[in-house]
Structure formats: C-alpha cells, structure tokens
Structure 1
C-alpha cells in the first residue's frame, strides 16, 4: 500500500531524475497544486492519481514503492562512506535502474565501482565500467575528469597486457594534465601510470625522464602518493639494471611509509622489495624471505584474493631461486587451479616459471618451446620489457640445465 510521506519522496525522486517540472508531470489530468501536496506528503494518493502519474512517468504503479529502489545519490553517499561489497552492489543496482541521472552523478558512481573492482583484482569487470566512464568524461568536458578517466583506463589496459593502447591513454591523460595545469597531485597520479606503461613498452629513457618528474612533484610528502612514486621510480631503475639506486628509493618508502596510512600499499611495498631481491644478480632469497614474512603478517587484515595470490606467487619464485624445485612446482600447481586475479605481467611470469621448471625437470624441448611462445606473445602485445626478460631467462635456464647434465656426466 502506498503511504505518505514515502510516496511523496519517491514521486519527487522520479520526477527530478527525469528533469521534469511539476507542471510537465501533472499534464492535463492533474493540477500542479495537487501534485505539490502529494510530493510534500500532505495528501494521500488515490488509485486514479497513482495510475495517471505512473503513465506520465512511463513506469508501473509498483515502482512508487520507496523500498523498491534507492536513489543513485543515496546509494553513492552510502557506498562512499561505507566501502563494502554490499554497498557496491546496491550502488550498481541503483546505477542500472536510474533514469537519466545527472551525468556528474553517474560519473562518480562509475568511478567508485571501477575502483572497487580494481582493488579486488576484477579487471574485466572494471573495464566494463571504464568503457562507459571515459566517454562520459568526454561528454562532461571537465579536463580533470577526462584525464582521470583515461589514467584509470591506461592502468587497466596495462594490467591486461594491452600496452600499446595503455600508452596512448596514459600519454593523452598526461597531455591534458599539462595543458590545463591540473593540480600537482593529479599530475603525479597520471605519471605513476605513464611511467609504468613506458617501462613495459621498452621506452625506458622516456620512463626515466617522467619518473624524475614524478619524484620532483612529490618531494617533501610522505603519504601514499609519495610512497607509490618511490616504488614506481625504483621499478624504472630496475629496468635500467641499476639495482642499487632502485633499492635506495624503495628503502626510503619502506622506512618512512607507515602501515597505518595504507596497509595494502605497505604490504605491496614489501612484496615489491622481495621481488627486487629475487631479480638481482645473484638473487638474494634471504632478504626476499624477510619481506615476504612481513607482508604475510598483514594478510589477515587485507584479505583480498589478489593480495593473497601475489604473496603466493612470490613464495613460488622464492622456492625456485632457493633450488626447492618440487616446492616451487607444488605452489605453482596450486595457483594454477585458482581464478587468477593478477596483472598480465604477473601471470606471464608464472607461465615463464612453469616452463623454466619443465627445462630443469628434464623436459628441455617443451620448456624452450613454451618460453619462445611466451616471449613472442609479449613482443606482439608491445610488452617489450617482458619479452626481453623472457628471452634472457630462457637462455639462463638452458645454461643451468645443461650445466647440471654435464656435472652428472663428469
């Protein structure tokens, strides 16, 4: 049964969502004064009034039940203050059912939902929201929203291994930030993505130049943006083979950034440090183990599938570098049975490790064929850095395997 004042609130919500005046909604079958009293809750609606208004709005009378739908603005407010799967689902439902909502309100809802998907490692679901978010930002026309949308799209494309379009999106976002002199914090966020994409595309000099620009922008800060900038600049130096400088930058973030600021980022810094020590020549598994244990201690408080998988992947790489090949194989097989919520690069590195293990387990022909296929795949997707790393690891693994065989013969 339709009762006041809930009917009036719902009626006004439906009218304003459609940008209708009271006169337009009332039409020829109702006075605006009567409609105004219905919206204020001063009059109880009759069946005839409900039928007329439903016809004018193009809905069924049942949709006047306030409990059937929460306004997009309300859902957005709730999802912003209470970040959970439940509030995100409510926001997604409100977004789907909202009729011609304000473009800015819709942009904010899409942005929040995309961010939630990204944190959960749901890249395909995030992409669906971004495919609507980017053109909506263009429609609204605000440079900051356009740049922000493109930055997030570039981040998603990079995670999916689509480096060429990611580079286009990140470059355009950076050009917008510079052209319209957007705030330093926004420009730094754009650079975080641009630097990462340039590095993976093999454009290391450009990545280093932009990384230096990024570090300059965040100088004097100690927040999450600063920590991510140090991390990103360290990754570029790794690509250049400058491990000492990379460790110096990363150590600053490890020492100065508090877990109270952002526990998930605090953990990822340690996972990055562990990975860096495993990539060094020679690898430093003891140092990597220390950082893995520190990150693992925080896992119960940041329990997301993507973080858990990142940690498991690092443990797999650690076992490989420590020569515990059966353990590495067991860990890898366990990961292979899960729905992986990690980036294209991380998945590729696990595939590379699989074929390295095959070579060391005695299946040299299949292992080398698999590594060759992965390297070519990375090269075709413009992921030049990953392709080069795969070829290098193939050569190293082959030499190691043949060295073991020669040793047994001797």
Structure 2
C-alpha cells in the first residue's frame, strides 16, 4: 500500500527496483541525512523545487517510504547515482573492488598463493560488507584457485561451492569457472570419475539449454582432457581436444588458450606425436611468458620435460623438470612441486641414478604437515609446511611414486619390497580409476610373481590388468556428452 507523505500533499509510492529489496525506509533515510549533511545542504535546499523541507525531514526520520521519482530527484541533487542512494553501493566501489581482484590475480600469477589469498580475502570481506555479489564471487573464485595451488583441496572445493551457491540464480555460464575449479580439485584428489562427471554434466546442461557459450565450453573441454587421459579414455580426450581447438578462435583469453594448448599436448604425447606436442607446448609457453603467469609457465616446463623423457632425451628432460620444480617451489605450490618430483625421479632412475631417485621419492610419501623428511642430495630444502602425497591428495602421483620405488627394489633384487610397493600403488590407483596405469602395474606385479614361481597369483594379476586395459574409461563414464553446434 502507498503511504501518504507528510507536509507536501504528494503520494509517495512504494520503492521499486533495487530500493524495494535492498534497503529499509529507515536505512535510506539515514543515508539521505548523512549525504545531505556532508554536502552542507539544508533540507529545503535538497527538497526544492519538487518537494518540501517537511517531506525531507520525514524521509530522513524513516517515517515515509519514498517513491522512485523522489529518490531520483534526491540522488540528482546530492550528485550521486540512484543505485548508490537506494543501495548504498557506489559504482566507484565496484570499480575499485574489480581492480583489487585484478591485482590479486596478478599476485597469484607472479608470486606465492598465500600472499594472493590475503588480497582475495580483503576483497571478499569488503564486497560482502557492501553487498557486491559479483565481486564477492570473483574473490571466492580466486581463493579457490589459491587453495588449488597450495594443495588445500578441501578448502578449494569449499570456495568453489560457495561461488556456485552465490551465483545459483545466474545463467549457467557464470558458474562454469567454479564448476571447473571444483572438478580440478577432485582430479587432484584422485577422484577422476567424479571430476569427469562434473565436467560432462555441465557440458550437457549447456548444450541442452542452448547456452553455447564458447568461453564456458572451452574451459570445460580443456579441463576434461586431464581426467580423461588419467582414466585411459584416450578417444574422449582426443575429441575434447578437437572441440577445444575448434572453439578457440571464438575466445579472446590468452591464458585459457595457453591452457588449451597444454591439454592438447597431452593427447599428442599419448599418440606418439611428440614433435607436435612440443610445438603446442611452445605456443602455451610463449603466451604464459607474455602474461607472466609463473605457475602455468612451470607446468609447461613440466610437460616439456615429460615430452623429452618420452623421446629418450633424458638430459634435457631432467633440465626441464628441475626448472619446473624450482619455479613451483619458489611459489610454494606444494602439491604441484611434489608431483614434478615424481616425474624427475623417474628420469633419474632411467639415467641410472637410482639412489638419487629413491632419496627423492621416499620423503614424498613420508612427509607430513608437521615435519618434512630429509631432502635428497642436491635438492632444495623442503618448506616447513610442505606435505607429501596421500590417497586423497595427489593419489595418481602417489601411486606413481610407489611404482617407481617398486621398480628400483625389483632391479636390485628385493622382491619383497618391490611387491609391497606395487601393491601399495595398486591400492591407490584402484580408487582413482586410472586404467592405463593400473594395467601397467598389474603387468609389473605379474612379472614379479611369475619370477618368484607364484604362477597362480601371477595369472590373477595379469587377468586384472587385462580387465583394466579392455575398455578403459568406458564402463564408468557412461555416454559421451552431447557436442555443441559448430
């Protein structure tokens, strides 16, 4: 119902739009009083020519609900926007908060994630105080990315889920970066199937609703390549890479394009096209260098090290992996650092330096948040808060570390230790669904058991490996997601 204004004979209608849902009559009145006093206006000066001093007095006391026309008149007289008067949120505040998000993103790209997280927290808190949902969501997304880098996967998921709740009423493309972040957190935890489920569900929902947003789809297809590859679903990974390449010309985001090239390189490596993979990584590296995104640049060195290892150029592979490890360690990206160290240990073993490889691997499986194990000779000192690989934190690489330790033990004739490490690796990887790695481990375990004369156990291991190899990824993933119209 409309309230009758006091003193001017005009009917003040209900506040519409932002004012109706955002602020009470009392709060708006207090804001008018504060702004009028700050500008040195009398109530008459503020009211004229359309209203009376008595009307402004009653409004400031919270006894009248102002109409939209009255609020627009007062905002104009006070020299502010209608939105700022009705909500208390200044466009200048929004601009300032967005600039702060950009600064925090730059800090995350070039410095340590913990330092960037402090900046994101400041933006989040102020955006919440001022009621800016979009800027608060951007800060929460940044906090999730910081937690991914430091390996705090539960914290990362919590932040990404908070973004999804905050934007629940927004179109799906607005929520895709948070969904992608949550999928990556599950991937790093070793939950490959659920990571694929999140990404494929979002792809299907986008395509079914007709929301063929190129940026959102490119983000999802690029993110899907890694869990597909780890699960052994190579055909799906290749198709995701093809769709990503087709979408790329429609997206103006160099960082995302660089990430796409990294994903495409993984599929090329699996197909033995190492020269093309290295070229794709070179494109990504060039973009990251221009953007000064250090963590992703380190990932490029990491993958180029893997490419050179596949080609048998172990000296160059070691050099690239050490560069990646040092860059990630300098940014205190603990989880990624230890994952690179597993790859580096593999190269060291293949170069005949098994003692160095073993000394590098053992601390990765023994390290705890409270104390670190001794570092390998010639390796940088571990950070005090650095943690190792566990079943719920880097499970795929934890399995890889046990596999390498099993190979080292097997090569020196310690069958008991080798079997123990192979079984530990199998236990870790069976939870992840990493089909290709599981099949390889079953072969290694079967060979070991056969040499020990335990033929029945060896046959069981081989059969299990064949089961993983027969249809990698297809029985757990279900139908492939629908493809967007190109």
TM-score, normalised on structure 2?
0.61
* Residue 222 of structure 1, CA deviation: 10
Counterpart of 1:142? 171
Segments of structure 2 that go 5 or more residues without pairing to the other structure are 1-18, 41-60, 63-92, 108-113, 373-386, 454-486
1:248 correspondence with 2:276: yes
CA 266–102 in structure 1, closer or farther in 2 if over 3 Å, else same: closer
Of residues 156, 167, 171, the one that matches 2:185 is 156
Counterpart of 2:388? 340
1:104 correspondence with 2:126: no
Counterpart of 2:144? 114
Q: Deviations over 1:119-175 (max 9, x none)?
A: 3333222112122223333x2231212333222211111111111211110002222
- Greater Cα radius of gyration, structure 1 or 2: 2
Query: Do the aligned partners of 2:192 and 2:231 also contact (CA within 8 Å) in 1?
Result: yes
Counterpart of 1:274? 305
Query: Do the aligned partners of 1:159 and 1:344 also contact (CA within 8 Å) in 2?
Result: yes
Alignment partners' CA distance in 2, 1:399 and 1:106: 59
Alignment partners' CA distance in 1, 2:241 and 2:214: 14
* Residue 293 of structure 1, CA deviation: 5.3
Question: What's the RMSD between the two structures over aligned residues?
Answer: 3.9
Alignment partners' CA distance in 1, 2:275 and 2:256: 18
Query: Do the aligned partners of 1:274 and 1:289 also contact (CA within 8 Å) in 2?
Result: yes
Of residues 217, 228, 231, the one that matches 1:201 is 231
* Residue 118 of structure 1, CA deviation: 2.0
Alignment partners' CA distance in 2, 1:213 and 1:401: 48
CA 249–215 in structure 1, closer or farther in 2 if over 3 Å, else same: farther
Alignment partners' CA distance in 2, 1:388 and 1:352: 12
* Residue 376 of structure 1, CA deviation: 4.1
* Residue 255 of structure 1, CA deviation: 6.0
* Residue 308 of structure 1, CA deviation: 4.1
Q: Which range moved further: 187-196 or 176-185?
A: 176-185
Segments of structure 1 that go 5 or more residues without pairing to the other structure are 1-15, 27-31, 45-51, 54-70, 403-410
Alignment partners' CA distance in 2, 1:247 and 1:234: 10
CA 301–331 in structure 1, closer or farther in 2 if over 3 Å, else same: closer
Query: Do the aligned partners of 1:147 and 1:172 also contact (CA within 8 Å) in 2?
Result: no
* Residue 368 of structure 1, CA deviation: 1.4
Of residues 74, 88, 97, the one that matches 2:117 is 88
Counterpart of 2:207? 178
Q: Deviations over 1:220-273 (max 9, x none)?
A: 99944333323322323444xx22x14412334326742233343333222112
Alignment partners' CA distance in 1, 2:130 and 2:34: 23
CA 303–260 in structure 1, closer or farther in 2 if over 3 Å, else same: farther
Alignment partners' CA distance in 1, 2:298 and 2:31: 57
CA 395–268 in structure 1, closer or farther in 2 if over 3 Å, else same: farther
CA 399–251 in structure 1, closer or farther in 2 if over 3 Å, else same: farther
Equivalences, count: 350
Pairing 1:2-13 to 2, within 5 Å after superposition:
none
* Residue 378 of structure 1, CA deviation: 1.7
Q: Which range moved further: 393-402 or 113-122?
A: 393-402
CA 365–166 in structure 1, closer or farther in 2 if over 3 Å, else same: same
Query: Do the aligned partners of 2:206 and 2:212 also contact (CA within 8 Å) in 1?
Result: yes
Counterpart of 2:34? 38
CA 304–393 in structure 1, closer or farther in 2 if over 3 Å, else same: same
Alignment partners' CA distance in 2, 1:400 and 1:255: 47
Pairing 1:224-235 to 2, within 5 Å after superposition:
224-235=255-266
Counterpart of 1:49? none
Alignment partners' CA distance in 1, 2:196 and 2:450: 35
Q: Which range moved further: 373-382 or 314-323?
A: 373-382
Alignment partners' CA distance in 1, 2:267 and 2:451: 28
Of residues 389, 400, 404, the one that matches 1:349 is 400
CA 297–194 in structure 1, closer or farther in 2 if over 3 Å, else same: closer
Alignment partners' CA distance in 2, 1:296 and 1:156: 20
Counterpart of 1:20? 23
Q: Deviations over 1:163-200 (max 9, x none)?
A: 12111100022224434344433322211111222222
Query: Do the aligned partners of 1:233 and 1:246 also contact (CA within 8 Å) in 2?
Result: no
